[in-house]
Each structure stands twice: as structure tokens, then as C-alpha cells.
């Protein structure tokens, strides 16, 4: 299959032989044996160039899937045998960071026999790692390509505004669109796709407002750090990520119909992660009282 896929990708047997570091005649012989085994032509030959037949296209797609699975299996066996990498690789979205880290000691105790590795990145990046088999599980917002993943919602969080000291009247209990547009904004934005950033700006434009976006990032902590550095603005973030703010800055609701943030446990469909997922879900269910007392609501 590797020989066949290399021939497809190089377009010529001679090029494929060079890539595979082998002589051309035995590679040609292996291709003939493969066509004899299937009883059909896999390529149309035009001079030295090869073009896949319809049957060849089917074989190429299947062969690539099998080779990917073989490589993932090989990597997993080596990783488990060597124990040089964490045995439970968890992806962590910045919109879920505080939620997890505040519970990490309990989570670690829940998996006493495992090392835990945390890989931080925005949801788009975590989706890529999950599909590539480089993560076992991710805590993140629901993926855009939901059909490729198993998704288990565990918590919802409202969108709130965190304001620098002194820029809001002490009597303010919530912010309207118009009030929000009067301040420099620090906004969350996905690296790929449409999210709360685009919906918020569209709502402001529809209302005839001109928002001033001073800074955007996929990292909640970075936005809050800017406030810590003295930036006189308003950060729009999930309420679940404001625990560290304490009384340092006003945290107020926003009178805007924005979708809630949905923290979910996500894994690739068909991946061998059912046991860790079940244990994680049991952990969150056991932690429900803590969540109910905090910013989020366990689902």
C-alpha cells in the first residue's frame, strides 16, 4: 500500500522509486502484482505518467486511511511502551482554562494511574490535533465540523464584561450595546470560523454603532492581562473564566443576545477513548455542586 500510494503521489514509477530509495524494476513488479491481485487496472498509462482509474482512486483513498491508522497505532504503542509522553493527552481551549485548572488537583486524583498532559490552543487548533490522533480528549467549545467528533456538553457560561477600574459608574449593573461601544474593547475571536466576535460586531453594526476593537485574541487570560497592565478598556469573556478577577475589576452582564459558551468534552469519532471520556464525565458529574456554586451551570 505504501508503494502504491507513493506511485500515486509522485505520478511516475521512477520518481516513486527515488522517494522510496529502491530500484525501479522491483517497484514496477510490485505494481503488476497488485493489479493481478485485484484483477483490474489501477492506472492509465500515458507515456511515463500514470493516472488513477476509478478503481485506483478507491484503493488510494482506502490505502491512505489504513496507512494513517497503522502509523497512529505504531505511535501509540511506542508512546505507551516508552512512557516518555503523557498517557492522557487533554487539549485545553483558553475559554475553558480556568474551569479546568481550578479543578486540576481533583482531576489528577481521579486518574491516579495516569500522567496527564495539557496542550493549550484555540478550538480550531484542538480540532486539528484531535483529527490527527495527537490528542485523546479536548475541553473546548463544540467543534465546527461536529459530524467528525463525539461531543459531551458539561457546562454553559454566560458572556460578561470585565471593565478596567474607574471607567464604569459604580451603579452599573449591566451593559447595553450602546454603553459597550463607548469603550475600547478586548474581544475573544476564533482563529477560524464565526463565533461570538463576529456576532457581537454584527449586532453593533445593525444598531448603527461603531465599536472600537482595541485588541482581539483567542486567549482569555491575555485579554485580562491587558487590564492588569493598566489598559482602560472592557474585556468580553465567558463568566466561567473570571474567577481570578475577584474584586479587582467590575464584572457585569451584557444586555445582548449572544450565544452562551458551551464547555464540552470532545473526542474524535471512533477513537479508543471511551473509558477516559466516561471517567471524565463521571468526574464532572461529581463536581456538579462546585460548578453550581461557581460561574457555570453543569449540563
pLDDT of 92-115, one tens digit each? 888 888 778 878 888 888 877 777
Partners of residue 51 on adjacent β-strands: 44
Contacts for 225-228: CB closer than 8 Å, 24+ residues apart: 226/186, 227/162, 227/164, 227/186
When comparing pLDDT for 203 and 84, which is higher?
Answer: 203
Q: Could you tell me which residue, 80 or 299, shows the higher pLDDT?
A: 80
Sequence ranges of the chain with CATH classification 1.10.10.10 = 2-82
Superfamily of domain 159-253: Periplasmic binding protein-like II (3.40.190.10)
* Nearest-angstrom CA–CA distance, 219 and 195: 14
Task: Find out whether 104 and 173 touch, Cβ atoms under 8 Å.
Answer: no
- Architecture per CATH, domain 2-82, reads as Orthogonal Bundle (1.10)
Residues ≥6 apart with Cβ < 8 Å to 73: none
CB-based burial label for 234 (10 Å; 0-12, 13-18, 19+)? buried
Domain with CATH 3.40.190.10 in the chain: 88-156+261-298, 159-253
Stronger pLDDT, 220 or 298, i.e. the higher one: 220
Query: CATH number of the domain at 88-156+261-298, please?
Result: 3.40.190.10
Residue 67 in grid coordinates: 496507512
Asked if residues 68 and 54 have their Cβ atoms less than 8 Å apart, the reply is no
Question: Is the pTM higher than 0.75?
Answer: no
Rg (Cα) of the chain, in Å, rounded? 26
Whether 299 shows a pLDDT value over 50: the answer reads no
Look at residues 161, 157, 185 and name the one whose alpha carbon lies nearest to residue 175. 161
Question: Does the pLDDT of residue 79 top 70, yes or no?
Answer: no
Helices vs strands, H then E, count in the chain: 12, 13
Amino acid at each position: 500500500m505504501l508503494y502504491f500510494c507513493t506511485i500515486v503521489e509522485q505520478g511516475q514509477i521512477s520518481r516513486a522509486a527515488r522517494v522510496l530509495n529502491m530500484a525501479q524494476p522491483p517497484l514496477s513488479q510490485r505494481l503488476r502484482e497488485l493489479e493481478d491481485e485485484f484483477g483490474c487496472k489501477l492506472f492509465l498509462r500515458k507515456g511515463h505518467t500514470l493516472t488513477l482509474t476509478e478503481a485506483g482512486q478507491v484503493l488510494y483513498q482506502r490505502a491512505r486511511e489504513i496507512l494513517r491508522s497503522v502509523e497512529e497505532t505504531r505511535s501509540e504503542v511506542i508512546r505507551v511502551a516508552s512512557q516518555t509522553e503523557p498517557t492522557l493527552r487533554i487539549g485545553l481551549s483558553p475559554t475553558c482554562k480556568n474551569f479546568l485548572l481550578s479543578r486540576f488537583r481533583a482531576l489528577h486524583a481521579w486518574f491516579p494511574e495516569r500522567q496527564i498532559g495539557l496542550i493549550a490552543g484555540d478550538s480550531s487548533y484542538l480540532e486539528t490535533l484531535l483529527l490527527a490522533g495527537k490528542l485523546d480528549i479536548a475541553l473546548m467549545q463544540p467543534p465546527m465540523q461536529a459530524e467528525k467528533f463525539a461531543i459531551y456538553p458539561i457546562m454553559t457560561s454566560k458572556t460578561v464584561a470585565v471593565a478596567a477600574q474607574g471607567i464604569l459608574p459604580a451603579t452599573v449593573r449591566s451593559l447595553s450595546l450602546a454603553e459597550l461601544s463607548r469603550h475600547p474593547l478586548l474581544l475573544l475571536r476564533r482563529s477560524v470560523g464565526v463565533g461570538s466576535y463576529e456576532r457581537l460586531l454584527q449586532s453593533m453594526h445593525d444598531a448603527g454603532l461603531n465599536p472600537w476593537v482595541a485588541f482581539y485574541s483567542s486567549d482569555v487570560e491575555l485579554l485580562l492581562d491587558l487590564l492588569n497592565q493598566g489598559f482602560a478598556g472592557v474585556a468580553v469573556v465567558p463568566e466561567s473564566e473570571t474567577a481570578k478577577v475577584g474584586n479587582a475589576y467590575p464584572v457585569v452582564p451584557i444586555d445582548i443576545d449572544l450565544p452562551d459558551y458551551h464547555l464540552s468534552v470532545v473526542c474524535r469519532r471512533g477513537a479508543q477513548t471511551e473509558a477516559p471520556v466516561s471517567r471524565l464525565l463521571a468526574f464532572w458529574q461529581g463536581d456538579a455542586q462546585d460548578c453550581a456554586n461557581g460561574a457555570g451551570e453543569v449540563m
